[in-house]
Amino acid sequence: MTQTSKNIAIIGSGLVGSLLSIYLKKKGHSVTVFDRRPDIRTIEFSGRSINLAMSNRGWKSLRVVGLEERIKKIAIPLDKRAMHVNDKPVYFQKYGKEGEAIWSISRGILNRKMIDLAEGAGVVFRFNEKVWDIDLPEAKIFTGESEKSEWKEYQYELIFGCDGAFSRVRHKMQRRSRFDYSQSFINVGYKELTIPPNEDGTHKLDKNSFHIWPRGKFMLIAMPNIDGSFTCTLFLPFEGEVSFETINTEEKAKNFFKTYFPNVRKEIENLTEDFFKNPTSAMVTMKCYPWTYWNKVALVGDSAHAIVPFYGQGMNAGFEDIHVLNTLIKAHGDDWDTIFSEYQIQRKPNADAIAELSYRNFVEMSSRTADPKFLLQKKIEKWFAVKHPNKWVPVYSRVTFSERPYVEALAIGDKQEKIMEEVMKLPNIGEIWDSIEVERKILSLL
């Protein structure tokens, strides 16, 4: 359907805001992006970012506007996990079938590139301009130096809130009655660390792997950058015996790494310096509803659904929002009432599903990976999936390498979990786990 050109404001020049601006600009709209922060192209990155793992949903959304190949040039494919267990050689777990990979990409580099591409397409960016208030029914925004200074007023026809987990746009919607909202923090924080490149610019660890050092209640991960370095993320409880609270001196930090990460320790230059220099960040699951206000305002990405990062799907889910919006725009033309209403109806259950899956992955990683019964269950699932690849697609693959709805992945995952509960009840399951009996049992329950 044809669409009338609209005057559109996007709040937030992050990944979702800049990709959405490209989509809308290509449809012929006039698009201005506001950001309270300076242009990310002019500043150093903040040292508080987990590297991104672009997977199928993200690529699909980039492909539609012809960006896939350009972005792949600044990304590195990871086709396996590299598990680092103390006193054992590294072992590798392939993600899936031939060619299935997640792509490591630096948030900063990607964001700069996206803004370049948007600007090239004709999108106007207004950096360092702080939005303090939004008139939702009138689609007006108010900006100024501070909350109490003189404000400038802008009139738009549509406003998109892409301003992240602590969205100002949502904040305004939240004050209205009957707006459901929740934010829930986990008791684990994270900190960015860096493994620099070798002197010749090559990577110090296998560059096509997602590196994990699991340690029960905490873990370290590393993802490669195109400059030969790795961005590492240390996930650690805020409080407790081994925690950000208790590791409060250089001595204690050194001992912590010596005890738990003896091999990686020598790779991370300035380890303790970075540990105390870089901020400790919190992680939140944020849910809300509705996501839209009439045919005027819509939330997209983290502003509508922020999730914990343990499934690597935050950006992918945000990009998929845009893809869904685009499909609805194509179908409904100028009928923004229907576009917005369908958008939130379609996306809300899927956002809830990936929030749940991400949270479960956190619980699994922090409490179940040391449980021998859980490890046996995972071993059986893997064994069965290899024997019957069409009958047992793991949830991870459904989320990461498919474009089917997240709700479907969650529902099938629940079904698989129920089956495995029955299987784990079999007497002597520890001995017979790879027997024909177990195989038949699973087949009968499927």
Residues that bind a second copy (CB under 8 A): 147-148, 166, 174-175, 177-185, 238, 282
How far is Cα 171 from Cα 173, in angstroms, rounded to an integer?
A: 5
Q: Which is nearer to a second copy, 87 or 180 (by Cβ)?
A: 180
Q: Which residue lies nearer to a second copy by CB, 88 or 148?
A: 148
Nearer to a second copy, 48 or 265 (CB): 48
Nearer to a second copy, 4 or 177 (CB): 177
Residues in the chain: 446
Degrees, nearest 5: CA angle 306-310-316: 55
Nearer to a second copy, 183 or 198 (CB): 183
Report, in Å, the least distance between residue 178 CB and a second copy. 5
Q: Which is nearer to a second copy, 144 or 197 (CB)?
A: 144
Structure-token match 């069409």, residue found: 390
Cα–Cα separations (whole angstroms), residue 114 to 67, 101, 179, 254: 9, 22, 32, 39
Helix axes 15-26, 107-121, angle to 10 degrees: 20
CB of 247: closest distance to a second copy in angstroms? 18
Nearer to a second copy, 73 or 175 (CB): 175
**C-beta of 33: minimal distance to a second copy in Å?**
24
Q: Which is nearer to a second copy, 282 or 375 (CB)?
A: 282
Cα distance between residue 266 and residue 257, in whole Å: 10
What span, in angstroms and rounded, lies between the C-alpha atoms of 121 and 4?
Answer: 18
CA distance linking residue 216 with residue 222, whole number of Å: 17
Beta strands in 149-250 (DSSP E): 152-155, 158-161, 180-185, 188-195, 209-215, 218-224, 230-237
- Name the minimum Å distance from CB 280 to a second copy: 10
Cβ contacts of 220 within 8 Å, gap of 6 or more: 193, 212, 213, 232, 233, 234, 235, 261, 264
For a second copy, the closer of residues 289 and 319 by Cβ is: 289
Residues 6+ apart with CB under 8 A from 190: 50, 233, 234, 235, 236, 280, 281, 283, 309
Phi-psi region of 51 (alpha: psi -120 to 50; beta: other; left: phi over 0): beta
Question: What amino acid is encoded at 176 in this protein?
Answer: R
Shortest Å, Cβ 350 to a second copy: 20
User: At closest approach, how far in Å is the CB of 297 from a second copy?
Assistant: 19
**How much helix, strand and coil, in percent to the nearest 5, is found in the chain?**
40, 20, 35
Q: Which is nearer to a second copy, 85 or 363 (CB)?
A: 363
Nearer Cβ to a second copy, position 174 or 255? 174
In angstroms, the CA 14 to CA 87 distance is 41
Q: Is the dihedral of CA 58, 174, 39, 189 positive or negative?
A: negative
Going 246 to 249 to 250 to 252, the CA torsion angle's sign is: negative
> Cβ 174 to a second copy, closest distance in Å?
8
Q: How far is the CB of 187 from a second copy (least distance, A)?
A: 9
CA 212 to chain centroid: 17
Least distance between a second copy and beta carbon 175 (Å): 8
Q: Whole-number minimum distance, CB 401 to a second copy, in Å? A: 33
| 337 in Cβ contact with 52 (< 8 Å) | no
Chain-centroid distance of CA 44 in Å reads 22
Q: How far is the CB of 250 from a second copy (least distance, A)?
A: 25
Q: Which residue has the tokens 């699973």?
A: 442
